Structure 1
Amino acid sequence: MPLAVSAPARAFRPYRDVLAVPGVVVLELVGSLGRVPAFMAGIVCVLHVVQHLGLGYGPAGLVGAVATIGTAVSSPWRGWVVDRYGLRRALVPSIAAQAVCWSVAPFVPYAGLLVTAFVAGALGPPVFTVVRQSLAVVVPAERRRTAFSLDAVLVEFSYMVGPAAGTAVALAWSTTAAMLVVGATQCLAAVAMFVLDPPLRSQPHDEHPGRTAARHGVWTTALVLAMACAFSADLVLSATDLAVVAQLREEDAVRWTGLVLAVWAAGSVVGGLVHGVLPRPVPPWLLVICLGAATTPLVLLHGPLALAVGTFVAGLFCAPVISATVDLVAHGVHESVRGRAMGWHAAATTVGAALGSPLAGAISDRVGVGTPFLVVGLLGVVAGAATAVVAARTHVAPRS
C-alpha cells in the first residue's frame, strides 16, 4: 500500500517543487483573481445586452467581438510598455480604465457599451501574460514546463468558475450588479498585481531598455511557430465550444451543455497535469496535430454521454498545447523582449479564439451541426503538420 501511494506522489513531485519556489503561490493566486472576472465578462455582457437592453444575440456577440479586437490590438503594445517601463507603470492605465468602463457600462446605451467594451479590452490588466512572464523568471529553466502546465490548469479552473459566477450574479441580482462586480474584481486584481510587482527579469531593470531590445529582436522563429500553434489551437477550441452547444441544441439536450463542457475542461486539466511531469517536452505542433485528430471524430458522436466522452479525450490536449507554446516563447526570446513576445502570443490566441466561433457558426448554419468538428479538426491537423515541417527545416525544438 505505501508503494501504491508513493508512486503518484513521486510522479507529481515536480508540481510540489514548483509551488515551493518563493512567490509562485502568491503569483498564481493573484493571477486567478484577475482571470476569473475576465472569463465572467463575456457572459455578463451577453446577458446584459439580451435581458437589460432587449437586443438579440447578434448585437450581444458584437460586444464580445469588439472587446476581443481591443485585446488583440493592444496586447503587443502592452507587452512593449511592460518591457520598457516596468509592470507598475503599465498597470496604472488598466486600473483607471477598468474602474471607469465597468462603472459606466451598465448605464449607457448599446453604442456606448461598444465603446466601453473596446476600451476595457484594450486596457485590460495583462494578467495572463504577466503571470507567464514572471514564471519564466522565478522558476528554474528545468521546471518551467511544469510551471506553465500548472498555470494552464489553473486557467481552466478560472474558465469553469468565471462564466458560472457571472451567470449566478446576473440572475440572482441583475446584470448591472454583475458588471459592477466584474469591474471591482478586475480593479482589485490589478491593484494586487501592482502591489505584488512580480519580477519580470532575472537582472535589475535596464536603464537603457531600448538599446537592450535592439540587440535582442523579438521576432524569432520560435515565436512565430509558437504563435502559429497557439492561433490554430485556440481556433479549434473556440469552434469546438460553439459546435458542442449547437450539437446538443439540435438533439434537444441543451440541459446537458454545462456538464459536457465541464467534462471537456476536466480532460484539459488531466492532460495539463500529465504534460507537466513528462520526462521530455512534447512539441506544440505535435500537440496541435493531436488536438485536431481528437476533435475530428466528434462529428460521428451523438447524445450527451458520447459527446462528453469524446470531448474529454480531445480536452486532454487543450492545456498541454497552450503551455507548450508559452514554454517555446519563454525559451525562444531574450527576457528583455519577453513582454512583447508574450503580448504577440496573447494576440495570436485571442484572434484564433475570435475566429473559431463564427467559423463554426457559419459551418453549422450552411452544412449542419457536427460538421464544424470535422472541418476545424482537419484544419488543426494540417496547421500542426505545416508548422512541424517549418520547425524541422529551421531546427527549432522545445527545450527540456
Structure 2
Amino acid sequence: MASTVTSRPGYGQLLRTRGAWTFLLPGFAARQPFAMLTISIVLLVQHTTGSYGAAGAVAAATGVSMALFAPYSGRLADRYGQRTVLLPGVLVHTLAGLSLTALALTGAPLWALFVAAVPTGASVPQIGPMVRARWGVKLQDSPLMTTAAAFESVTDELTFVLGPLLATALCTALDPTAGLLTESALTLIGGLLFAAQKSTQPAVAPSGAGHARVERVSALSVPGVRVLMVTFLGIGSVFGGMQVSLAAFSESIGEPGLNGVLYGIFAAGNMLSGIVCGAVAWKVAPQRRLVLGYAALALTASGLWAAHSVVVLAGIGLLVGMCIAPALITGYTLVDSLVPANARTEAFTWLTGAVALGQAAAVTVAGQLEDRLWDGAGFLVPLAGTALALVTLVALRSHLAPRSRSRTVARGVGHRTPVTVD
C-alpha cells in the first residue's frame, strides 16, 4: 500500500529543533561504547588466552546480559525517568569494565571473566533508545519524526564506523587493554553529561491519588514488536559474525590492523545508505520496505563466506553494510505506529537488546567456527542468521500493520469509555 507522503523535512530542519543539541552531543559520546565493547573484549581476551572461542564466549556473556537487562532498563526509564536509571548505571558499568580488564590481565580463569562480563553488559547505558524517546518529546507527531528516526540510525551507524576503528587502533597500536579502558571512560563521562540534561528527558507520568490512571502496556505484548525483535536478531548476527570473522581473517594474512579498516568499510556503507534512506520521501509502505530491504541483506550476507581476498571481502562487506541501515531505520520507524507513547523507550530497548543478543550468539558461534574449521567459517553465521530472520519476517509481516489509535475499555455494566493509548 503506497504512502501519500511526497516530501520529507530535511536533516537541517531537524537539527534546528530548539534544545536538540543539548542531548545530541553528550548522547553521541555516551553511545560510542556500545560499538566498542564487543570488539574490545574480543581483542583483549584473545590476546590473554590465545583463543577466539574463549574471546567470543566472554563477549557473548556481555551481549546476553545486555539483551536481558536493556528492556528492564527501558521500562524503569519510562516509569521513573532516564536520569534516575542512568546515574547508577554508568557507575556500575565503569567499575565492571575495569574489573573485567584486571581479571583478563592477571590470567584469571574463564569462569571469572564470565562473572565480570555479566554486570558489564547488564549496565550498558541505553543511550540510543533514550535519545529516540527525547526526540518524541520534542517533535510530538511532527513530520520530522521519520527524519529523526533516520538521523538516529545514521548516528548509530556512525558509531559503528568510529567505535570498532577506535577500539582496534587502541588495542593494536597501544595496548590490548586500551579499548576496554577507553570504552569505560566514555561511558562514565558521556553518560553523566547526558543525564545532566534534565529539561529534555521525557516526563514521568504522575500516579497515585488525585491523578487519572495511566494504562501501562508492555511493549513485548505487541506482536509487531516481537516480529521486529527477530528481525533485529538477524541484524545482530551480521555485526557479531563480521567482528569475529574479520579479526580472524586479518590475523590469518598477517595484517591484524586491517580488521578495523575492513569493519569500517562495512559500517561506512551502513552509514551512507542510512543518510540516503533518511533523505528519500518513500512512497512504499514501511512494512513492504522492510521485507524487501531485508531480503537484500540476506542475499548479500550469503556471499561473505566465499570471499578469499581483501578486495572482494571489502566489496561484499560494503554491500552488506548498505543493506543494514534501511532495515534498522524502517524497524525503528514502525515502533511509532505499533507501540503506545508510554512504552516506546522500552520498545526501543527490546530492539537494541535483540541486536545485542544476536551479536552475542554470533560472536560465540563464529568464534567456535573459526577455531575448529577453516579461516572465514565464521562468515556462515550472518548467512544463517539473516536467512532465518527473513523467513520469520515474511511469515509474520501482517503483525506489522499499524495499531488502532484508540480502543474501548469496559468501565462497568452497560458503560464503555474510549481510552486513548497514545
TM-score between both structures, scaled by the size of structure 1:
0.82
* 1:210 Cα deviation after fit: 11
Q: Is the alpha carbon distance of 1:286 and 1:27 closer, same or farther for their aligned partners in structure 2, counting shifts above 3 Å?
A: farther
1:67 corresponds to which residue?
A: 62
Separation of aligned partners in 2, 1:33 and 1:147:
18
1:148 corresponds to which residue?
A: 149
2:231 corresponds to which residue?
A: 229
* 1:247 Cα deviation after fit: 5.0
2:304 corresponds to which residue?
A: 298
1:320 corresponds to which residue?
A: 326
Counterparts of 1:355-370 in structure 2 under 5 Å?
Answer: 355-363=361-369, 368-369=374-375
Deviations 1:257-277 (A, max 9, x none): 433322212211121111112
Separation of aligned partners in 2, 1:75 and 1:383:
21
Mark the runs of 5 or more structure 2 residues left unpaired by the alignment.
Answer: 1-6, 405-422
Is 1:348 the counterpart of 2:392? The answer is no
Separation of aligned partners in 2, 1:295 and 1:54:
30
- Is contact 1:267–1:312 with CA below 8 Å preserved after alignment? yes
Separation of aligned partners in 1, 2:62 and 2:174:
24
SS in 1 for 2:294: helix
1:279 corresponds to which residue?
A: 281
1:266 corresponds to which of 249, 265, 268: 268
* 1:167 Cα deviation after fit: 4.2
1:188 corresponds to which residue?
A: 189
Is the deviation greater in 157-166 or in 346-355?
157-166
SS in 1 for 2:74: helix
Is the deviation greater in 11-20 or in 207-216?
207-216
Deviations 1:21-59 (A, max 9, x none): 2233332322221122333333443444455x5664444
SS in 2 for 1:212: coil
- Is contact 2:134–2:201 with CA below 8 Å preserved after alignment? yes
Larger helix proportion, structure 1 or 2?
1
Separation of aligned partners in 2, 1:375 and 1:163:
19
* 1:82 Cα deviation after fit: 0.6
Is the deviation greater in 318-327 or in 299-308?
299-308
Runs of 4+ in 1 over 6 A off after TM superposition: none
Deviations 1:87-143 (A, max 9, x none): 111113213313433454444453554433321221222212212222233234422
Counterparts of 1:1-400 in structure 2 under 5 Å?
Answer: 14-51=10-47, 56-108=51-103, 109=106, 110=108, 112-139=112-139, 140-170=141-171, 174-175=175-176, 179-197=180-198, 199-201=200-202, 205-207=205-207, 211-214=213-216, 218-247=220-249, 256-280=258-282, 282-283=286-287, 284-363=290-369, 368-369=374-375, 373=379, 376-377=382-383, 379-392=385-398, 394=399, 396=401
Root mean square deviation of aligned Cα:
3.3
Mark the runs of 5 or more structure 1 residues left unpaired by the alignment.
Answer: 1-10
1:3 corresponds to which residue?
A: none
Report the AA paired with residue 69 of structure 2. S
Separation of aligned partners in 2, 1:300 and 1:173:
33
- Is contact 1:30–1:192 with CA below 8 Å preserved after alignment? yes
Separation of aligned partners in 1, 2:171 and 2:241:
26
Report the AA paired with residue 401 of structure 2. V
SS in 2 for 1:317: helix
Separation of aligned partners in 2, 1:198 and 1:258:
38
Q: Is the alpha carbon distance of 1:96 and 1:171 closer, same or farther for their aligned partners in structure 2, counting shifts above 3 Å?
A: same
- Is contact 2:267–2:318 with CA below 8 Å preserved after alignment? yes
Deviations 1:313-359 (A, max 9, x none): 22111122122212222331111112222222222111111112333
Is the deviation greater in 171-180 or in 306-315?
171-180
Separation of aligned partners in 2, 1:85 and 1:212:
14
Report the AA paired with residue 71 of structure 1. M
Separation of aligned partners in 1, 2:372 and 2:98:
40
Q: Is the alpha carbon distance of 1:61 and 1:380 closer, same or farther for their aligned partners in structure 2, counting shifts above 3 Å?
A: closer
